[in-house]
Structure 1
Amino acid sequence: MSALPVVVAVVPEALYAEFFSPDDADRLEGVAGRLGGSFVRVDRLTDAPLDEVRVVITSWGIDPFDAAVLDRMPRLELVAHTGASIKAFATAELFDRGVVVTQAGAGMARSVAEVSLAFTLALLHRVPEMHNGLRGGGWDAGVPAQHEILDAPIAVIGASRTGRAYLELIRLLGARPLLVDPTLDRAAASALGAELVTLDDAMERARIVAVHAPTLPETHHLIGGRELALMPDGAGLVNTARSWLVDEEALVVEVRAGRLSAAIDVFDEEPLRAEHPLRTLTGALLTPHRAAGTTEGRLRQGRIVADELDRFASGRPLAHAVDRAHLASMA
């Protein structure tokens, strides 16, 4: 009789192949063997026998770990999430029972930072306006001033993992980074190669404002109509973080007027409805919440999960564990 599963990956088959290289998939099976059982991948948690399960690997769309679910897994010790936010499934009951939760958000930082950089360069060089103008049958009618990133004042709102990765990229390209983060002092900002400024100062001075702040009650519409009005004519806003941070309606007003441009990967309503005004604005560059979707980033996320399971099986501290306090900053 084969051993019961002790490690269950609740990850669709195609997504599982994106996350886990053959070597990392072998590592997951090896961990299961070290824990005295087998490994199984399933589409739904209820597809596997759960009595002996000690580790669950999750992806997007998993149901919350409520009491009824947890009662079926009396030996559960670890939930390892292939993504970043655990808010959709992590319940108080999960933490109350002493289950450790870890996540692979660090693997996404570089991918999102590169998209933010691509957005930044596109807005500086007026790619959305020129692209949309050409598609509409025009040629060179009234394109606003184009700029290089060299010596450009670029505001980074939030020194998150992604914010720091983005900050490093723009600094290496010669930008003059302005950093807004109330958790840092001037020395810490300087060590990151940035000038620490207030939000208002950043909005007034920056040619591009890139949003990388956490999702907190106090950051809801951190950038609203008042803040957008502070931005100089021709400036651009980049958002690859969360729509929570920016007043989308106020941004539409500014981009529709042609005063600002915007490059956005996250929206209040997803999928973005067909008639949403952002879809028709010449100065808007849009992507469908895919900034973290690189091949390399997905494999990095899987490697982080495999590393965490190795640490767990060896009795070593986890590198990416999160607790219930982190839920407040996750969307």
Structure 2
Amino acid sequence: MSPSPRPRAALAMSQGAAEAVLEQPALDALARVTTLEPPPVLDDFSTDRARAVLAGAELLVTGWGCPPLTAEVLAHAPRLRAVAHTAGSVRAHITEACWERGIEVSSAAAANALPVAEYTVAMVLLTGKRVLESARDFRAARAEVDWRRTPRGVGNYRRSVGLLSASLIGRRVIELLRPYDLRVLLSDPYVSEEEAAALGVELVPLAELFARSDTVSVHTPLLPATHGLVGRELLASMRPGAVLINTARGAVVDQEALTDAVTAGRVRAVLDVTDPDVLPPGHPLWDCEHALLTPHLAGSQGNEWRRLAELAVDEVSRWAAGDGFAHAVRRDRLPYMA
């Protein structure tokens, strides 16, 4: 069924997500191509108002905090044909019932991938140069540093960077690393030798990735098969002083094994995610000089939320015009997405 000339649309997310991501220009743009339900946003589908709105909605613009679109919810939304998500993963709210209904789904994952990739590249370069350690030592010494004593292992000239998974973010990292004089290795069972060559990376088995890389960056989604994938054996095989960067999901890495390796000073770590996320206050990684913990900030924040909104508005405009989504989420690829 084709959408109406001005399809009825509603916002389904937490109020905080709506205020962060959807500034007035984005709301105005949505209102120009849809009949947009006025606030408040839908953050609970069980209320009388939510069910009244769902009864006429053809499109939901969703975001962080959107409740699951279960079969029971969809029973109250007989006209719903599409969901445009203003963030990355749709796993929390898109259910099997949505796919069975044939609802079209779009995600702003492509927009959210860029800041994560930028964060990763920044950390690759900073840790290769040992900037954080040097800054700490400089602050302590408050005196001239003899640069001639810099160890040969410091620097980014032909450093080996290993990427675990050619996910959407992993591929953006590959693109952003191209201008640098780095060797890029990739481990991904779903990538062929031909595709790796086209990406300009060397495809290697998982164990070889960890053994050969100066920096390993984790970009694999959390699946039953990847839970604890980066375990004690792989961490033990890393080069002395090598760096593990994780911007994916904390549970992909064996947290206990990583803690042992980092606190022993065998490897360094940059962790934007942990398991659990956040670590307990007394966890040894908080005070470990070989670990940098950031509060899940690699993804879109601040002015980067505008990029998510703009992509979602473009998707809604395309769909309302009958052109379909440019960033459609495929049901068969969902199990392999973050």
Q: TM tier, shorter chain?
A: 0.7 to 0.9
151-160 or 62-71: bigger deviation: 62-71
Q: Does 1:171 align with 2:175?
A: no
Q: Contact (CA 8 Å) 2:86, 2:107: kept in 1 or not?
A: yes
Over 3 Å counting, the alpha-carbon distance change for 1:91 and 1:143 in structure 2 is farther
- Distance in 1 of aligned mates of 2:201 and 2:245: 18
1:22 CA drift (Å): 4.5
In structure 2, the residue matched to 1:300 is 307
Q: Does 1:233 align with 2:240?
A: yes
Q: Does 1:266 align with 2:273?
A: yes
Amino acid corresponding to residue 233 of structure 1 in structure 2: P
Structure 1 residue runs without a partner (length 5+): none
In structure 2, the residue matched to 1:66 is 70
1:143 CA drift (Å): 9.4
Q: Contact (CA 8 Å) 2:318, 2:324: kept in 1 or not?
A: yes
Q: Percent identity?
A: 37
Q: Secondary structure of the residue that 1:40 maps to in structure 2?
A: coil
CA RMSD of aligned residues (A): 2.6
- Post-superposition Cα deviations, 1:158-191, rounded to whole Å, max 9, x if no partner, equal 1112111111222212111111122222232122
Q: Contact (CA 8 Å) 2:13, 2:65: kept in 1 or not?
A: no
Amino acid corresponding to residue 87 of structure 2 in structure 1: G
Q: Secondary structure of the residue that 2:256 maps to in structure 1?
A: helix
1:330 CA drift (Å): 4.1
Q: Contact (CA 8 Å) 1:102, 1:321: kept in 2 or not?
A: yes
TM-score, length of structure 1 as denominator length: 0.88
Amino acid corresponding to residue 37 of structure 2 in structure 1: F
Amino acid corresponding to residue 6 of structure 1 in structure 2: R
- Distance in 1 of aligned mates of 2:204 and 2:232: 20
Q: Secondary structure of the residue that 1:166 maps to in structure 2?
A: helix
- Distance in 1 of aligned mates of 2:316 and 2:72: 25
TM-score, length of structure 2 as denominator length: 0.86
1:265 CA drift (Å): 0.5
Q: Does 1:29 align with 2:31?
A: yes
Q: Contact (CA 8 Å) 1:5, 1:52: kept in 2 or not?
A: no
Q: Contact (CA 8 Å) 1:107, 1:298: kept in 2 or not?
A: no
Amino acid corresponding to residue 98 of structure 1 in structure 2: G
Residue number among 242, 251, 258 corresponding to 2:258 in the alignment: 251
In structure 1, the residue matched to 2:208 is 201
Aligned residues: 322
Q: Contact (CA 8 Å) 2:7, 2:320: kept in 1 or not?
A: no
Q: Secondary structure of the residue that 1:101 maps to in structure 2?
A: strand
1:91 CA drift (Å): 1.5
- Distance in 1 of aligned mates of 2:295 and 2:151: 26
Q: Secondary structure of the residue that 1:272 maps to in structure 2?
A: coil
Over 3 Å counting, the alpha-carbon distance change for 1:52 and 1:132 in structure 2 is same
Amino acid corresponding to residue 114 of structure 1 in structure 2: E
1:242 CA drift (Å): 1.3
1:146 CA drift (Å): 5.3
1:271 CA drift (Å): 2.8
Q: Secondary structure of the residue that 1:303 maps to in structure 2?
A: helix
In structure 2, the residue matched to 1:6 is 8
Q: Contact (CA 8 Å) 2:244, 2:267: kept in 1 or not?
A: yes
Q: Does 1:311 align with 2:325?
A: no
**1:1-331 counterparts in 2 under 5 A?**
6-12=8-14, 15-20=17-22, 22-32=24-34, 37-43=35-41, 44-45=43-44, 46=47, 48=50, 49-50=52-53, 51-130=55-134, 147-331=154-338
Amino acid corresponding to residue 223 of structure 1 in structure 2: V
